[in-house]
Amino acid sequence: MIIPSAMRLQRILKRHLRSVCAFLMLLISGSLMSAERPDARVSLADRSVAETLLRLPDFNLRGRPDLIEKLDRYLRANQGTTRYFQLVRQFKLKDRSNELLAIVLSRPGTTPGTWAAETLVQFDKRELLEQTTRHADTDRAVAAVRGLASVGDADTQAYFVETLKKGVLPVETLNAIATALSDQPEGEQFLAEWVASGNLPPQLAFTVGNLLHSSEIAAHRKIATRHLPRPKTSGGNPLPPLKDLVGRSGDPEHGRTLFFSKAQCAGCHQVDREGKQIGPDLTEIGSKLSKEVLYTSILDPSAAISHNYENHEVVTVDGKIEKGILLSRDTTGTTLKDAEGIVRSFSHAEIESFRKLPLSLMPDGIEKKLTVRELIDLVQFLASLKNSR
């Protein structure tokens, strides 16, 4: 009986001693050090203030602008580190919310990105993340979706489900939300039920199909087979789920031959200056896109349309419809380049209506022209196109 309470006493003493020492250090670093030549001492002084504050969870920073200034400098220099998050959370530095959001957006799928998202939610700033998922720049929106997904709580799930059902965001963002949902059992359950109800918007069929076809739950795979059958490839075999395709390797030389012949890719893309310049140049595409994204670009071209290659439509006053990539639109008129590479200009007087199309100029259904083997070889070729300089 005596021994434990003695130990307890010792522990209490120790804890208090730590706080007292820490407080003394804080006084020293806060006043003495700053009185010394600040130029040479700044980072050391800032660091010791930060380290000391970490040991004083109840310390009130209010009325200590000298410490706040040091802490601020320390945090700016150490953004995204463990210490940074410890301090920001401990002192509930909500005024750093925009900085946290920037960390989420610039580092999706990393530990700092996840911690930043979690901190925002702790600060009741979930709205900042949700707002960003509705941003027109899909790179930002998708990064925000990944940040929210890393929090993975019930509110996030509910927001994702509601947003998918509304369906007003760009396809790329909606696909990212569906992918994030499928990581959680309830989320996958929702997707399966949605598909079974027949209400899944067709533009999400490719992504959601891939998710459910590679589900671990047999009932979900069955729903996918029934409602979202795999498209048939040229050999008559169904297209394997994306996960399987990504895991297989092919013959890049055969893929190159296909690119310039049967697959007709060179009708719109250049590799090493060969081919037409309608879509983006693919000479170094293997450095830019992962195999998974290469497959999606080919099999679901409208899911993520590259910037500057959006498909547009002009309807002329005499009823002609022209589609193509927008080359220019200014006071003199509008110029499009169509799928054959033909450039057409229209004066404003000729144009009845002009709009951006949600569908890529790149044709879908390419899998119908190729066997599974050929598709794998083609992607192996594209993946091999790396920046060699």
Residues that bind ligand HEC (CB under 6 A): 263-265, 267-269, 278-280, 285, 294, 297-298, 301, 305-306, 309, 325, 339, 360-363, 366, 378, 382
CA distance 163 to 134: 9
- Of the pair 26, 375, the CB lying nearest ligand HEC is at 375
- Of the pair 314, 362, the CB lying nearest ligand HEC is at 362
Least distance from ligand HEC to the Cβ atom of residue 363, Å: 6
Least distance from ligand HEC to the Cβ atom of residue 201, Å: 18
- Of the pair 118, 367, the CB lying nearest ligand HEC is at 367
Least distance from ligand HEC to the Cβ atom of residue 135, Å: 19
Least distance from ligand HEC to the Cβ atom of residue 264, Å: 5
Q: Encode 195-215: b = buried (16+ Cβ within 10 Å), e = exposed.
A: bbeeebeebbebbbbbbbbbb
- Please report, for the chain, how many H helices and E strands are present, in that order: 19, 5
- Of the pair 131, 306, the CB lying nearest ligand HEC is at 306
Least distance from ligand HEC to the Cβ atom of residue 305, Å: 4
* 3-state SS assignment for residue 363: coil
List CB contacts of 338: < 8 A, sequence separation 6 or more: 322, 323, 324, 344, 361
- Of the pair 90, 264, the CB lying nearest ligand HEC is at 264
- Of the pair 322, 350, the CB lying nearest ligand HEC is at 322
CA distance 205 to 209: 5
CA 43 vs CA 59, 74, 86, 133, 222: distances in Å = 21, 7, 18, 37, 61
- Of the pair 167, 341, the CB lying nearest ligand HEC is at 341
Least distance from ligand HEC to the Cβ atom of residue 11, Å: 60
* 3-state SS assignment for residue 376: helix
Least distance from ligand HEC to the Cβ atom of residue 333, Å: 21
* 3-state SS assignment for residue 309: coil
Least distance from ligand HEC to the Cβ atom of residue 278, Å: 5
- Any idea what DSSP says for residue 81? S
List CB contacts of 283: < 8 A, sequence separation 6 or more: 270, 271, 272, 273, 385
List CB contacts of 212: < 8 A, sequence separation 6 or more: 182, 188, 191, 192, 195, 220, 221, 223, 224, 228
Helix (H) or strand (E) holding 345, with range, is strand 343-346
CA distance 78 to 38: 19
- Of the pair 306, 332, the CB lying nearest ligand HEC is at 306
